[in-house]
Structure 1
Amino acid sequence: MFDQRKYIQLPTDSPPQLIVVIDTEEEFDWTAEPDSNANQVSAMAYIDRVQSIFNEYGIRPCYVIDYPVASQPEGHRLLKQFAEKGQCEIGAHLHPWVNPPFKEELSRPNTYPGNLPYELEREKLLILKNRIIDSFESSPVVYKAGRYGFGPNTTNILQDLGFEIDLSVCPPLDSRADGGPDYRRFDARPFWFGGDDAPILELPCTGGFVGWTGGAALPLFEAAQVFRKFKVPGILSRLGAVDRLMLSPEGFSPAEHIKLTRALFKKGVRTFTWSFHSPSVVPGNTSYVQDDAQLRHFLDSFRRYFDFFFNELGGQASTPTRIRDFMESMA
């Protein structure tokens, strides 16, 4: 997985680049067993709640869309309008349990597309790609595995189907208990993988273990989990020793977004990804946004972070394809 990885180190005087990635998908109960019939996309009628904010800041987000969104007019109608105006990019997001063909057993491990047999993972992604082409009249080159489920065959499948950019790596996520991948030892730096003939650019989700413990942060965090009932992780966080953070408005505060960004910037990271799930734009669809007050807080965190990134940090807005063009120009 991610064979022949070559990390990219941008010059320290490079302005930080921000990309926005939306996991654009159906509404479903994240705690329930997978259900192929749970394919409602009613939240997509309200996706302009976030697109209007992106427009304010000159951001072109990348909507990575799955089969229910790509195949239903109510799912992609607004996205097509945004794309036609040059306001966004469209990528692919594979949720196997709602993406034909339905040949696998419905199980939690099989919700990670990289766990599927080669032919089935490829067939599902090809069907999704063709559906996106039908709906948007352009072929996606950006991919993000559903549930971050990149597998041993995914590199070859992406290269075979013409994908050039992957967004699946999610440090510091560890999904092994659910049958998924372990990204704890990845970091936020971009890298090339897949060899020199058809290299793929990885732009990870922005996350990591931060704190004054430095290289000991991961083992210290893991040790603290043993004593969760004594609130040891919270104590370590308040002491500034170690925090596990992600650059997402789902479950993380503006103060944590800024803390993570400053820590990674200090380490030389210059590409940052703001990510979330599309159903969160309507209260009641995810655990992060349950009522109107939480929705206001959710949307406010966008502006608070963007103000920091562009005004205080001197950052620039970018997109996955722009980042790849820039990386290629430096090679």
Structure 2
Amino acid sequence: MFTNKQSIHLPASSPPQLMVVIDTEEEFDWNNFPDRQKTSVAHLNQLDRVQSIFDEYGIKPCYVVDYPIASDLYNNKTLRDIFASGRCEIGAHLHPWVNPPLTEELSIANMYPGNLSAELEYAKLAALVAKIQQNFLFKPTVYKAGRYGFGPNSQEIITQLGFEIDVSVCPPFDHRADGGPDYRAFNAKPFWFGNQLLELPVTGAFTGWARSCAEPLFRNAQRLKQIKAPGILSKLGAVDRLVLSPEGYTPAEHKKLTQDLMKRGTRLFTWSFHSPSVEVGHTPYVQNDRELQQFLDSFRRYFDYFFGELAGKATSPSQFKKLMENK
């Protein structure tokens, strides 16, 4: 997994760049056992709630779409129209439990594509690519493993299927408790791997004055959630685990994470979320109209900060790859 890694160093003098990656997927209960019957994507009809904001700021988002999204010609019409008009990029997002061939045993561990056999992981991703080609008239080159589940065979598989960019790495999270990968050793900076594959990680990190002790300190605090240990450490400024996302993180935390990472030399940032959050009731983060408004407001608050105060620039996975290739 991730062989031949080569770090990408962007000059400190270069303006920060922001891209948007949306996990575009069916509506399902994240806390329940996988259910192959949960394939509704009706929320796509509300996609303009966020796309209009991206258009306003000149952002070309990348919607990484899974099989239920790619298959539903009735509900994905808005997304297909956005793509046809050149206002977004389309990538592939593999949710194995709703992606044919449906031959694996249903389990939490098998929700991570990288846990499947190489043959089955390949067959599922090939089927997804074919469905995207059929209905979007485009072969995707950007890949995001469902549940960030990039596995030991994933690099070879995405290479064989013609992908050029991966966006699966999610630092600093450790998903081993239910069978997923451990990303604690990664940071938010992009890197090359394999035969000129580009990795663009999720923008996440530990922040705070604990520094090298942040990860073990946070891990121990998680075991003491009943006495609110993680919140206490956050208020003390010792350690926070933050992600640049409107789901579960506040505008103040978005700014804090960005400032901290910029001090560490990060110049590429990814704003990420899940498409069902555009409608009330599908994700834990948007359960009522007030939370929906807060969710949408956080986009403009962060974009105003990034493009105004930081004089940042908008990019996309494909645009950033071209930039790196021309250096």
Q: Same fold (TM over 0.5)?
A: yes
C-alpha distance in 2, partners of 1:311/1:74? 38
- In the TM superposition, what is the alpha-carbon distance from 1:15 to its structure 2 partner? 0.7
Q: Which residue of 1 aligns with 2:172?
A: 172
Q: Which residue of 2 aligns with 1:201?
A: 198
- In the TM superposition, what is the alpha-carbon distance from 1:97 to its structure 2 partner? 0.4
- In the TM superposition, what is the alpha-carbon distance from 1:143 to its structure 2 partner? 0.3
C-alpha distance in 2, partners of 1:277/1:141? 20
Q: Is the 8 A contact 1:44 1:74 kept in 2?
A: no
Q: Given residue 261 of structure 2, which amino acid in structure 1 is its aligned partner? A: L
- 1:118-177: CA deviation from partner (whole Å, max 9, x where unpaired): 010001000100110111111100000000000000000010000000000001222111
* DSSP-derived class of the 1:173 partner: coil
Does residue 317 (structure 1) correspond to residue 314 (structure 2)? The answer is yes
Q: Given residue 127 of structure 2, which amino acid in structure 1 is its aligned partner? A: I
Q: Which residue of 2 aligns with 1:6?
A: 6
User: How many pairs does the alignment contain?
Assistant: 327
Q: Which residue of 1 aligns with 2:66?
A: 66
C-alpha distance in 2, partners of 1:241/1:34? 36
C-alpha distance in 1, partners of 2:231/2:138? 47
Does residue 226 (structure 1) correspond to residue 223 (structure 2)? The answer is yes
* DSSP-derived class of the 1:124 partner: helix
Q: Which residue of 2 aligns with 1:304?
A: 301
- In the TM superposition, what is the alpha-carbon distance from 1:79 to its structure 2 partner? 1.2
Q: Which residue of 2 aligns with 1:276?
A: 273
Q: Which residue of 2 aligns with 1:36?
A: 36
Q: Given residue 323 of structure 2, which amino acid in structure 1 is its aligned partner? A: F
C-alpha distance in 1, partners of 2:226/2:53? 40
Q: Given residue 208 of structure 2, which amino acid in structure 1 is its aligned partner? A: G
Does residue 258 (structure 1) correspond to residue 255 (structure 2)? The answer is yes
C-alpha distance in 1, partners of 2:287/2:221? 29
C-alpha distance in 1, partners of 2:304/2:285? 22
- In the TM superposition, what is the alpha-carbon distance from 1:5 to its structure 2 partner? 1.2
C-alpha distance in 2, partners of 1:316/1:207? 19
- 1:185-238: CA deviation from partner (whole Å, max 9, x where unpaired): 2110101111xxx32100000001011122221122122223332222211111
C-alpha distance in 1, partners of 2:159/2:198? 11
Q: Is the 8 A contact 1:45 1:74 kept in 2?
A: no
C-alpha distance in 1, partners of 2:133/2:76? 12
Q: Which residue of 1 aligns with 2:91?
A: 91
C-alpha distance in 1, partners of 2:224/2:284? 25
C-alpha distance in 1, partners of 2:76/2:165? 22
C-alpha distance in 2, partners of 1:118/1:63? 25
C-alpha distance in 1, partners of 2:112/2:221? 28
Q: Given residue 177 of structure 1, which amino acid in structure 2 is its aligned partner? A: A
TM-score relative to the length of structure 1:
0.97
- In the TM superposition, what is the alpha-carbon distance from 1:21 to its structure 2 partner? 0.5
Q: Which residue of 2 aligns with 1:285?
A: 282
Alignment identity in percent?
Answer: 61
Q: Which residue of 1 aligns with 2:240?
A: 243
Does residue 20 (structure 1) correspond to residue 17 (structure 2)? The answer is no
C-alpha distance in 1, partners of 2:273/2:142? 16
C-alpha distance in 2, partners of 1:187/1:249? 20
C-alpha distance in 2, partners of 1:286/1:103? 27
Where in structure 2 are the equivalents of 1:132-171 lying within 5 Å?
Answer: 132-171=132-171
Structure 2: unaligned runs, 5 residues or longer: none
C-alpha distance in 2, partners of 1:105/1:214? 41
Does residue 328 (structure 1) correspond to residue 308 (structure 2)? The answer is no
Q: Given residue 72 of structure 1, which amino acid in structure 2 is its aligned partner? A: D
Runs of 4 or more, structure 1, over 4 Å off, are none
C-alpha distance in 1, partners of 2:169/2:90? 18
* Pair 1:157–1:75, CA change in 2 (3 A): farther
C-alpha distance in 1, partners of 2:255/2:24? 25
* DSSP-derived class of the 1:74 partner: coil
Report the RMSD for the aligned CA atoms in angstroms: 0.9
Does residue 125 (structure 1) correspond to residue 119 (structure 2)? The answer is no
Q: Is the 8 A contact 1:189 1:203 kept in 2?
A: yes
Q: Given residue 221 of structure 1, which amino acid in structure 2 is its aligned partner? A: F
* DSSP-derived class of the 1:305 partner: helix
Structure 1: unaligned runs, 5 residues or longer: none
C-alpha distance in 2, partners of 1:55/1:225? 39
C-alpha distance in 1, partners of 2:290/2:225? 29
C-alpha distance in 1, partners of 2:232/2:138? 50
